[in-house]
Amino acid sequence: MKRIIFDEILPHFSAEKTYHGDGYYRIRQVDDRTYELAFLVADACGSTSVHPQITLRLENNDLVPTKLIDMGTAPTKFIQRDITNAAWLDNQLEQLINRFKSVI
């Protein structure tokens, strides 16, 4: 996925979760090339759970998802990128970015 798409949504979100109708949205910068995008849902304990959170790395003009955590599924998902799941992670990132775009 191209970085320009990420750059379109980045100014609208922050490291603090914000509610946008269907849940909470957050983008945290981990370092100069790594970000975490998270959609969070309220859970039974009064806190929020990531559903999902994708860690991505900026490489040249591309976004590369490196990890997915989803606490809103059963069983929960903790997935590190490898050759067997790269296309699936790319698709999950595209879906999450589209979700972010739908609320701006």
Confidence band, pLDDT 50/70/90 cuts, at residue 61? confident
- Structural contact between residues 52 and 39, judged by C-beta atoms closer than 8 angstroms: yes
Taken in order 78, 9, 13, 58, is the CA torsion positive or negative?
Answer: positive
Phi and psi torsions of 16, nearest 5°:
-90, 135
The two tokens of residue 20 are 């946008």
- Structural contact between residues 68 and 76, judged by C-beta atoms closer than 8 angstroms: no
**Mean predicted confidence (pLDDT) in 28-49:** 93
How far, in Å, CA of 75 to CA of 56, rounded? 23
- Structural contact between residues 9 and 2, judged by C-beta atoms closer than 8 angstroms: no
Confidence band, pLDDT 50/70/90 cuts, at residue 13? very high
Instruction: Inform me whether the pLDDT recorded for 43 exceeds 90.
Output: no
> 15-34 in b/e burial notation, b at 16+ Cβ within 10 A?
eebeebeebbbbbbeeeeee
- Average per-residue pLDDT for the chain: 94
